[in-house]
Each structure stands twice: as C-alpha cells, then as structure tokens.
Structure 1
Amino acid sequence: MTTFDDREHAFEAKYAHDEEMQFKAQARCNKLLGLWAAGLMGKTGADAEAYALEVIKSDFEEAGFEDVLRKVSGDLQGRASADEVREKRAALLPDAKAQVLSDNG
C-alpha cells in the first residue's frame, strides 16, 4: 500500500468518525430538547424520557431540524414559540456535543 492510499484511508476513517459524532450530537441535542419540552408540559420521569425518545425519532422524517421543530412546537401548544424552541436547541447543542465527546473519551 502506498503512502497516498494510507492517507486516503485515514481521511475516510476520520470523515466517517466525524459524521458519526455529528449524528450522535444531534440525537443528544434532540433528547435534551425533548426533556426541556417535556418539563414545560409537566411530564417527569419515564413520561419525560418517552417524550424525549419521540423527539429523537421525529428527526428521521426529513433532513434538517424542521421536523423536530414542528413536533416540539406543536406539542407545546403555545407554551413556547417556534423561535424559543430554535433558541433553546441552539443553546443545548454545545452541551450535547460535550456530552458525546465525554462519552467517547
């Protein structure tokens, strides 16, 4: 194997790892957002965890965050605006990334 091949394989492995970490961070962020929303709806314990799982699953409907935004905003029924949900998610993303990194560290 040549040096070029080694570098190519290393780049591909790094790319795959980075994509996996990004996916995990997005899922963790959606879970945290779901737990936050569950709290606003008065859900606790297992009910809050189940709702957070629903939020995670809602992200598989389409690419991007809009599917999650629709679910959470709709479920909150005016307890928080779509802009507040977006702001909360943006605030939670760094925490989610840190949690994923610490889980894999």
Structure 2
Amino acid sequence: MTTFDDREKAYEAKYAHDAEMQFRAEARRNKLAGLWAAGLMGKTGAVADAYAMEVVKADFAEPGPDDVIRKLAADLGNLADEATIRAKMDELLSTAKVQLLDEAK
C-alpha cells in the first residue's frame, strides 16, 4: 500500500469520525434543549425525559435544526420566542460537544 493510499484511508476515517461526532453532538443538544424546555413548562422527572426524547425525534423530520426549533416554539408558546430558542440551542451545542469530549476521556 502506498503512502497516498494510507493518507486517503486516514482522511476518510477522520471524516467519518467527525460526521459521527457532529451527529452525536446535535442529538445531545436536542436532548438538552428538550430538558430545558421541559423545565420551562414545569415538567420534571420521567415526563421531562420523555419530552426530551420527543424533541430528539423531531430532528429527523428534515435536515438542520429548524424542525426542532419549530417544535420547541410551538410547545413553549409565550415562554420563549424563536430567537431565545436559537440562542439556547447554540449554547447547548457547545455544552454537548464538551460533554462528549469529557466522556471520551
């Protein structure tokens, strides 16, 4: 096997790893956003966890976070506007990435 082949395989492996980590981070962000929203709605315990899983599942409707934002905005009503939800999701994506990195250690 040539050096070029080795580099190509390494690049492909890195790309696959990065894509998987991004998917996991977004799923974790969605769960954290669901827990945040559940707290705003007064849900706790198993009910909050179940709601968070609904939010995670909502992300499979279309690519990108807009499907999750629409769900959260509809469910939260006057408790949070779309700008607040988007800002919170950006914050939670950073939190999710840190959590995944900590778990990998």
TM-score range, shorter chain: over 0.9
- Unaligned 5+ runs, structure 1: none
- Report the RMSD for the aligned CA atoms in angstroms: 0.7
1:45 maps to 2:45: yes
Question: Which residue number in structure 2 is paired with residue 95 of structure 1?
Answer: 95
Shift of 1:104: 2.0
Q: Which residue of 1 aligns with 2:63?
A: 63
* Code of the aligned partner of 1:34: G
SS of the aligned residue for 2:35 comes to helix
- CA shift, 1:10, in A, is 0.4
Q: Matched residue pairs, number?
A: 105
- Aligned partner of 1:8 in structure 2 is 8
How far is 1:25 from its partner? 0.5
Structure 1 segments of 4 or more deviating over 4 A?
none
| Aligned counterparts of 2:14 and 2:102: Cα–Cα separation in 1 | 18
1:17-49 deviations in whole A, cap 9, x for unaligned? 000000000011111100000000110000000
Q: Distance in 2 between matches of 1:67 and 1:12?
A: 30
Equivalent residue, structure 2, for 1:26? 26
Aligned counterpart, 2:84 = 84
Q: TM-score, normalised by structure 2?
A: 0.97
Q: Percent identity?
A: 62
Question: In structure 2, what residue type is equivalent to 1:88?
Answer: K
Q: Distance in 2 between matches of 1:103 and 1:57?
A: 23
Q: Which has the higher contact order (CA 8 A, sep 6+)?
A: 1
